[in-house]
Amino acid sequence: KKVENFRTDWSKVESIYKDISLDDWRKCYNDWEGLLREDPQYKEVKVVERHPNGEVKVFYLKVGLGMFMTDRTVLVETNNTFHEDGTWTTVMQSTQHPDYPENDEAIRVSTFTVTDSSATADGKGSIMTEYSNSDGMGWVPPSLMNMTMGTTTK
């Protein structure tokens, strides 16, 4: 079910990881299932398609919000562009796939994210600057959103 006229805004988040290198992040892009499966809020995590180089192309997530909230699903296509200076840009956007159609059991989330990735000055860490626009398809109480988002960060 789609909620009409629900507006979201763009957000920008810059994260600096002192001990996670760009090479570490490249490994993550090949193993979304392993990375996300440990998070208890995800009811289902599935790599649907891979690019010829092995990186994830399309992945599916089913998120349980709990507390009488309808589960959310997202089906995302990812594309990385690697630049000559060693940085890269990742574009993730909602997509459709015949094996994962929308259904009445969960609400399909819409998302578009661009992430610029670069190394820290010492080369041991990384800087991720993310620009995103997501539509959770309905109102979520702030306390529940804080609790849900809090489980994704350690």
pLDDT value at residue 153: 46
| pTM of the complete model | 0.75
Q: Is 111 helix (H, G, I), strand (E, B) or coil?
A: strand
- The residues facing 2 across adjacent strands are none
The angle at the Cα of 38, spanning 37 to 39, to the nearest 5 degrees, equals 90
Q: Name the residue type at position 8.
A: T
pLDDT for the residue 27: 80
| 103-139 residue pLDDT tens | 888 888 888 999 999 999 999 999 999 998 876 655 5
Tokens of 44: 């289902």
DSSP symbol at 133: E
Query: Residue type at 53?
Result: N
Least confident of 9-13, 87-91, 123-127: 9-13
Other CB atoms within 10 A of residue 84 CB: 5
